[in-house]
Chain A
Amino acid sequence: MNPLETVRTAFTAVMGRKMRSALTMLGILIGIASVMLTVGLGAGAQKSITDQINKLGSNLLIVTSGANTGLTVNNSSASNRTRFTAPLTLNDATALADKNNCPDVLRVAPVSTTSTTAYVGTTSATTSVVGTTPDWLGVRARTVTTGRFFTTGESSTGSLVAVIGSTTASNLFGTAYPIGKTVTLTGQSFTVIGVLDTVGSTLSGNEDDQIVIPSGTYAQRFSTSTNMNTVTMILLEAKDKDSLSAALQQATTTMYVMHNVTALAPDFSVSSQQALVETIGSLTTILTALLSGIAGISLLVGGIGVMNIMLVSVTERIKEIGLRKALGARPSVIMLQFLVEASMLGLMGGALGIALGFGGGQLLSKAIGYPVIISVAATALALGVSLVIGIVAGVYPAWRAAKLAPIDALRNE
């Protein structure tokens, strides 16, 4: 019997018992759909987190005060935590920007942030104020859509100019053109000179709701520290992805010298986003694997369902099997017929499950505003898995059918 006839015979058998076949497929369908959704959600989560981190800027290194985050280059010992920690300053930033110290660092942007209320006439809005240098724009991979960013001159002289985020612009000015208008921060009037591009939220908050002012101005007007040059953190941009670790080493060495500390007792930390991306990536991978494992159990149950139905089918069709054998079907042909039938149930269930996974993924992604990524590889794998389940579940029933004695089978009423 040729393969086409085998498939046709199996298809006739599956279609001849529509309700039962449909219910059997349902088990595989639900299993495949849930595994695909879980994996899709996991991949989506990972991508969205990675995107958010990358949105902070590419090849970014962050220097922070204190040596107690898990993502530092040097792990501090417990005794160091209580030690006095020297704050980061604009001098540190200058040293890090020096090409002799850090040849692989492209740009440096010291950043100080605080929260304040901004006033425009009677309108007010609470927002964050960021004091930095013109390099911030490049380091953070941002652009100015309207107007301009402040210059190095304005940065050092402490000009009263502000570049605002798009959300801040609409909060304070509505639809009015904000450039040249005045915004009041802590009683001081700032002239709006630019509006930033819209990028949405990142892990560090809403990137569109902030007011960026020159670092010099920030030091004069907002600094609460005794040392006006204190900054919250220093952002570094490495030349490229490959020089990231070299830049990290150079920055760390420079900071040792600047703060007069050693690797044994650092009072700062330099972290790369790469490390953060990898940590979060491995976390989501573990979580996805765990959830898919749980969803996989329903696949197993689906497979048992296929096996059960195939056993019932063999028992019910003993007479048919007997007849086919009497007419010359060899045991292997009967075996193949039932195997193909079981695989067909698995494969059809799997295909429908993939369709449901896709559909469900689209809906879910709309509902939670979060991508659900179902890759071609995952689809192919799901199809393969459902086929394998069908075959495995079909082996025992098919073997039973094949070894039936033709006389016993024919005699069966």
Chain B
Amino acid sequence: MTGIVELDDVHKTYRTGTITFEALRGITLSIAEGEYIAITGPSGSGKSTLMNILGCLDVPTDGTYHLGGEDVSRMSEKDLAVVRNKRIGFVFQQFNLLRSMTAQRNVELPLMYAGVGARERHTLAREALERVGLGDRTHHRPGELSGGQQQRACIARALVTNPDIILADEPTGNLDSVSTHDVLTLLHELHDQGRTIVLITHEHDVAMEAQRQVQIYDGLLSEGAHV
């Protein structure tokens, strides 16, 4: 077991009454540390389910998932929360920044749940915001930032805990071409600095930015991008 992410024959079955739906039908995937991988697939392919399991937001029905050497496939919600906090940095399509808080406080949020003291939190959040080029926007609320800036704040929030992987779910889905370019450049830079990045997208151009492409179709994975 060498990769930072090791999925072994992962199944996910949803049951609604008498109807059962197999969203994932045996996914085996290994992601090495420092890899930049894009997962593509049309809607209904099981892409979101895979992303939820990779993000420890859900657990597989069958198979195992090791994240950073730790088996997270049978964990309780309480333990998963800790794993998400320590090991995963989320970047969402909708940004999901809390509107009542400044960019600074938003970035501090995961550190708060990690129990980091106020002073250290402050420094780390500031550094992360400077890293994404928002050093002069720390006290702005999300409503006062452009879409691209909000997504960069979101990336800062994903970086601040120094996670094992950065999981970016359609990060450019809500952005114009200029901001898309900014965000993709930023992800590239992070990769160059040794970060492991998992990019989930349905856009071919975006997927091609990554070092490696895998495609999901009908709950099964195949290497390469054929969108």
Which residues of A line the B interface, CB within 8 A?
1-2, 5, 12-13, 16, 319-320, 323-333, 405-407, 410
Contact = CB atoms under 8 A, between A and B. Distances in A.
Given A331-B77, A333-B113, A326 B90 contact: yes
Interface stretch (B39-47, B67-75, B94-102): B94-102
A83 to B, nearest CB: 84
Contact of B100 (A2, A5, A16): A16
Contact of A1 (B52, B86, B115): B115
A327 B90 contact: yes
Task: Label chain A's interface by main secondary structure.
Answer: helix
Contacts of B196: none
Given A326-B55, A327-B85, A407-B52, A1 B101 contact: no
A406 B52 CA distance: 10
27 contacts: A1-B112, A1-B113, A16-B100, A320-B98, A325-B84, A326-B57, A326-B84, A326-B90, A326-B96, A327-B84, A327-B90, A327-B109, A327-B110, A327-B113, A328-B81, A328-B84, A328-B110, A328-B114, A329-B81, A330-B78, A330-B81, A405-B77, A406-B57, A406-B77, A407-B52, A407-B57, A410-B57
A328 B100 contact: no
Q: B77, B78, B110: which has the most chain A beta carbons within 10 Å? A: B77
Contacts of B227: none
B164 interface: no
Contacts of B84: 325-328
Give the contact-size bracket for chain B: 20 to 34
A315 B38 CA distance: 34
B81 A12 contact: no
Given A327-B110, A328-B113, A407-B57, A12 B101 contact: yes
A323 B98 contact: yes
Contacts of A406: 57, 77
Q: Which 8 A-B pairs have the closest CB atoms?
A: A328-B85, A328-B113, A327-B110, A330-B81, A323-B96, A407-B57, A406-B57, A16-B100
Nearest to B58: A407
A2 B57 contact: no
Contact of B96 (A12, A329, A331, A410): A410
Task: Label chain B's interface by main secondary structure.
Answer: helix
A199 B159 CA distance: 80
Contacts, number: 60
A331 B98 contact: no
A332 B76 CA distance: 13
B110 A332 contact: no
Contacts of A328: 81-82, 84-86, 110, 113-114, 161
B113 A329 contact: yes
Interface in B86-122: 86, 90, 92, 96, 98, 100-101, 109-110, 112-115
Given A1-B113, A333-B113, A325 B100 contact: no
Contacts of B112: 1, 5
B44 to A, nearest CB: 15
Contacts of B55: 326
A204 to B, nearest CB: 66
B23 to A, nearest CB: 12
A347 to B, nearest CB: 21
A323 to B, nearest CB: 5
Contacts of B161: 328
B213 to A, nearest CB: 25
Q: A2, A5, A12, A323: which has the most chain B beta carbons within 10 Å? A: A323
Nearest to A4: B118
Nearest to A12: B100
Nearest to A319: B96
B52 A331 contact: no
Contacts of B101: 12
Given A1-B113, A327-B109, A407-B57, 13 more contacts: A12-B100, A319-B96, A325-B81, A327-B84, A327-B90, A327-B113, A329-B113, A330-B81, A330-B82, A331-B81, A332-B78, A406-B57, A406-B77
A329 B55 CA distance: 14
Contacts of A12: 100-101
Nearest to B83: A328
